[in-house]
Structure 1
């Protein structure tokens, strides 16, 4: 091709240099296209030919055409397959989706994934750090690393992502200081009694399950009616978050509260708890949290508690803290649905925990919450 022709084409369709990556690029209709490295194509000849191929509707011959959005889509499709297979929960998939939104909100989604630099990830980390505290920031950083690790292992990019030395979770010291500054994350007995004054039958039952059995947000949102046996006063099921068998003895107060929920249940779903509009609480918001989080804040406000600092999950912390007073940590872990370490051979050999031990754990919490004997409490 004559030099004059190339010159005219360059003037007609000029390319620019993306300084951060050192690549020739072109912005067209709000989308940025990346081509060869300036060092390898100093005159932009190859890059210009690739751009003209795109304009003609053909796929350009470029080795690094996998974009950030492509990796996000492939990763989410991979996680969707796990969701469909029951290997992860919907809340978890929603968190992954939110992480991809954070990535594409900070890094141009039309950027070639293989050309990202430590400065791109530093910008992403700074954006997330302004929005989240150390705990959530660390979670998202881990998920971003997982995202690009998948891209490399799946063959979408030919080398690991260059995160740089700064794209790491907050150090342990910062995490400890954050917990100290936050203060205690459980509720006192008086505070729980105040929360139980709510007039909402759903919330009274959920609060009781949280404080007497360590039920978390997802636990109550996904709890089905069929696993609750009000005749015997037990709940037994495999916890979705950990796939760990869980057997929980219920207080008489909890049995009555759940009985009212079932009697007033509108039907249409197997979930135990249904809101006023007929929806259960498993839906997620833009941050990947189910409806329990936001709804409980309204309960706190209605009972005179400040919103900041504590949420529904703090009831689970209250149970753990008080139930350990029974002296049987194995029984407490079984009720909580904790995952035993892989090297814990005792948990592998242990086939069950005696019901009497489980009852002693919940009885210890009952004595803390209502320091008086109650019908059905075991004699020590």
Structure 2
């Protein structure tokens, strides 16, 4: 009787231990089925390496994400792209330095609260629900409202600039606080108002620069950024007017000045000119009135 010439199948090895999470697949590799799909972790003769690879990829696979070695556009990549774009906007004067710093902090937050090598396209609605829950522990309604807005801008940037194939799905758990919540939060705070007598005391004790700032605030309703960016060409001191478009919208804004405000601006310019040693009168015209 002739001998069989058929190829013998290799004998599957036993698991190295009872709690070894992988099984020997017929292809000669250690494998595990996760979420209905088989994944392989190396040859039978390297069970330790296979176990190490499983432990490295376990969290991603169980969450339905690509394992760590197959990364595409990551959160760190997104943060770098967004900040480069925002820096360009800042340099062109399209956004303020404060706005840029806000986005910088938001990007740092996103990188620090998840793996920086996490792929943006792998993010799920549950990830954003967890993020909102964590943010709400350290932020009030207004701060949370603003932070969620910036985070959405950051991730929308990824899709709008073709870094990911489809928009991020934030889910129902990543919404801004309702307007009613914001109103109630504001109502709980004490009014931030100064009485006329308090303002007079501040003006009386302020130096030249600060007096100018205070008067611009109460005369024209200018805020900190407005005063910091106001330049002399915006001011017609002889006629007693400021022509100063709103920085964000570009909408024209004409403000009639009180005589006290006109004098305060003149005094501020004189003070700045003295500090600059009167190098050139035109130089003062290019400087903000207050710094």
- TM-score band by shorter chain is 0.7 to 0.9
C-alpha deviation, 1:70, in angstroms: 1.0
What corresponds to 1:206 in structure 2? 213
State the TM-score, normalizing by the size of structure 1. Answer: 0.57
Secondary structure at 2:204's aligned position in 1?
Answer: coil
1:39-118 matches, within 5 Å, as 51=69, 62=70, 64-118=71-125
Q: Which of 57, 62, 81 lines up with 1:22 in the alignment?
A: 62
Secondary structure at 2:171's aligned position in 1?
Answer: coil
C-alpha deviation, 1:186, in angstroms: 3.2
C-alpha deviation, 1:231, in angstroms: 2.4
Secondary structure at 2:238's aligned position in 1?
Answer: coil
C-alpha deviation, 1:138, in angstroms: 0.6
Residues 121-167 of structure 1 show CA distances to partners (whole Å, capped at 9, x for unaligned) of 23322333233321121111011112112212222122322322121
Distance 1:10 1:254 in 2: 81
Check conservation: 2:73, 2:164, Cα contact below 8 A. yes
Residues 101-136 of structure 1 show CA distances to partners (whole Å, capped at 9, x for unaligned) of 222232222211122233332332233323332112
Q: Which of 167, 186, 189 lines up with 2:193 in the alignment?
A: 186
2:289 aligned with 1:252: no
C-alpha deviation, 1:211, in angstroms: 1.0
Secondary structure at 1:235's aligned position in 2?
Answer: strand
Secondary structure at 1:215's aligned position in 2?
Answer: coil
Unaligned runs of 5+ in 1: 25-33, 37-46, 52-61, 275-380
Distance 1:184 1:107 in 2: 38
What corresponds to 1:166 in structure 2? 173
Check conservation: 1:21, 1:117, Cα contact below 8 A. no
State the TM-score, normalizing by the size of structure 2. Answer: 0.72
1:245-284 matches, within 5 Å, as 245-265=252-272, 266-267=275-276, 270-274=287-291
Residues 231-288 of structure 1 show CA distances to partners (whole Å, capped at 9, x for unaligned) of 22222132222212221111111122222211111347611113xxxxxxxxxxxxxx
2:237 aligned with 1:230: yes
Check conservation: 2:74, 2:119, Cα contact below 8 A. yes
What corresponds to 1:122 in structure 2? 129
The number of aligned residues is 241
Distance 2:49 2:61 in 1: 24
C-alpha deviation, 1:20, in angstroms: 6.7
C-alpha deviation, 1:198, in angstroms: 3.0
2:141 aligned with 1:134: yes
Could you say what the CA RMSD is over the residues aligned between the two structures, in angstroms? 2.8
Check conservation: 2:208, 2:264, Cα contact below 8 A. yes
Distance 2:120 2:146 in 1: 21
Check conservation: 1:20, 1:117, Cα contact below 8 A. no
What corresponds to 1:11 in structure 2? 48
Unaligned runs of 5+ in 2: 1-26, 31-41, 277-282
C-alpha deviation, 1:8, in angstroms: 5.2
Check conservation: 2:243, 2:255, Cα contact below 8 A. yes
Secondary structure at 2:253's aligned position in 1?
Answer: strand
Larger Rg: 2
| Shift in CA distance, 232/115, structure 1 to aligned 2, threshold 3 Å | same
Distance 1:134 1:66 in 2: 31
